[in-house]
Structure 1
């Protein structure tokens, strides 16, 4: 009997996370050790946006350093995972059968939204991946339907990961170790309650409903992976908050499991 996997929303933070001694680093390391081992991982990152959902077909994707100004040691890290090409073709079919226009590429490398958590959860890089992009500026319903199209893969021992950030305003960061600011706590507390009560429509329309939404997400790409994971969840099943931490006064490192 095949193992049933979860869908995870992971706040990935800065690309330096694998080099840090932090609560989130230790949480992700333990998470990879405690979850049932998947046969493959489908990963959606805030850092890969395209005009339509796109599936990566590069057999051996390179490690991308899509950032600047960080310590030199960061640019030596590699995550040499392979792509499960058969599963990638299945993902393309599932998204198309859901009525979505879908593209493919064989040129995409792993961005830090993908390799930062995976390097901690599965450091051997021996679990094959399928990388899927987010359609830029799509509706909440579109992201939700992407998750719906993929959720049956969970029954075939495929882990689905959405990598983003629960809050993400890089223009309002404070000194690391600062207490969370009131405007970002208000958003996180509202979202926590909405998720625990499984208020899907409220969350899909979060930009209108959540307090101080644009202060916490001036752009929405870091929140959209959560909407995909919500779509990948079992009907009428509320998610579980696995981890909570704050960096620099306004950057939530919350992680949620959708079963």
Structure 2
């Protein structure tokens, strides 16, 4: 893997991948070729790409600024149609009891704003939520919050969402997910880690948390707390997950939220608009599915060097490492991983699974 000579443009990017990995790539400003320091926001990168990838643009007014991007005419229409009946149905479900036994743990590919217009993906997440006992509380670790020491989001009801994406249509900033106060869930987490957890007063749920939960628990009636990822060391994250796993027997659902493949710097027009799935994405997905089926924890821990498609599937590892929280909390060595969502979005695998 080469390093770019400057922080603005890497002229070698169009020649990085073997021919089997797909069409010629578009050279992107701020592309980092896998160097994490230079790509600090996936959403910013996506925003830079959209005008270059799409021929027909629509005008968007947001905070007094006119922006041009290609979006569906009604970018949240599928989600709003889903809510017409889903919220009431979800609210009427009975909650977890001790008779249900420990809840499973989840690793999910959370998507972003495109989920709101994808009826099939919404339904996949909704069906998954219905399979599970309705949790009393949720602890979620998102790829979009890396900070040490480990931090807790504000558990107070009414804490605003963190719309950690820029330049999107205004509809995406009007979406709400007003969950109940989660003080007791935060206290349960603190009890596991003593003084090692910092309370972050200004932090609400980011899109890695609220987007999938809006589909799985649309009534917004389950308290949610978010934790930061304090390290990128897989073994340490598995150990962290094991401690969080103690919450499962108290009706708290533990979720690692990322994306099974997330090669955003390598996104192409063919991936975005023609359904092309590059080899680096499908190869990595197949490898991960096989390793999970075999419970090959050592291989998963060594994904940087063992997984095909690296570093393109994860030029930064933030969207894969939440998997280790789930593996630790669910105890992969004792319980098989069951895939609940699969398929691709813009060429990225959205494989998601649970551990009993």
* TM-score, structure 2 as length reference: 0.68
1:195 to 284, 292, 306: 292
1:81 positional shift: 1.0
Paired residue for 1:237, among 329, 332, 335? 335
Per-residue deviation, 1:177 = 4.5
**d(CA) in 1 for partners of 2:228, 2:174:** 25
1:10-159 aligned at under 5 Å gives the runs 10-17=108-115, 19-60=116-157, 61-96=159-194, 101-136=196-231, 138-159=232-253
Asked whether the 8 Å contact 1:13–1:165 carries over to 2, the reply is: yes
Q: Give the helix-richer structure, 1 or 2.
A: 2
Contact (CA 8 Å) 2:153, 2:205: kept in 1 or not?
A: no
Structure whose alpha-carbon radius of gyration is higher: 2
Specify the SS of the correspondent of 1:42.
strand
Report if aligned partners of 1:45, 1:133 keep a CA contact under 8 Å in 2.
yes
Moved more, 233-242 or 186-195: 233-242
TM-score normalized with structure 1 length? 0.92
What SS is found at the alignment partner of 2:295? coil
Separation of aligned partners in 2, 1:244 and 1:139: 26
Deviation string 1:42-66 (CA, Å, 9 cap, x unpaired) is 1111111102221224412211111
Asked whether 1:6 is paired with 2:104, we answer yes
Bigger relative contact order, structure 1 or 2 (CA pairs below 8 A, ≥6 apart)? 1
**Structure 2 Cα separation of the partners of residues 236 and 253 of structure 1:** 24
Q: Tell me the number of residue pairs that the alignment of Structure 1 and Structure 2 aligns.
A: 253
User: How far apart are the structure 1 equivalents of 2:119 and 2:278?
Assistant: 20
The answer to whether the 8 Å contact 2:103/2:249 transfers is: yes
* TM-superposed deviation, 1:77: 0.1
Q: Describe the superposition over 1:81-110 as per-residue Cα deviations: whole angstroms up to 9, x where unpaired.
A: 1342122122123134xxx94322222111
Q: How far apart are residue 134 of structure 1 and its match?
A: 0.5
> Could you say what secondary structure the match of 2:312 adopts?
helix
Q: Which runs of 5 or more structure 2 residues have no equivalent in the other structure?
A: 1-96
What secondary structure, in the 3-state scheme, does the structure 2 residue paired with 1:162 have?
strand
Q: In the aligned structure 1, how far is the partner of 2:141 from the partner of 2:181?
A: 14
Assess if the C-alpha contact under 8 Å between 2:154 and 2:204 holds in 1.
Answer: no
> Does the 8 Å contact 2:150/2:196 carry over to 1?
yes
| Counterparts of 2:279 and 2:202, CA distance in 1 | 42
1:159–1:8 distance in 2 versus 1, CA, 3 Å: same
Aligned-residue CA RMSD in angstroms?
A: 1.7
Cα pair distance change 1:75/1:52, threshold 3 Å: same
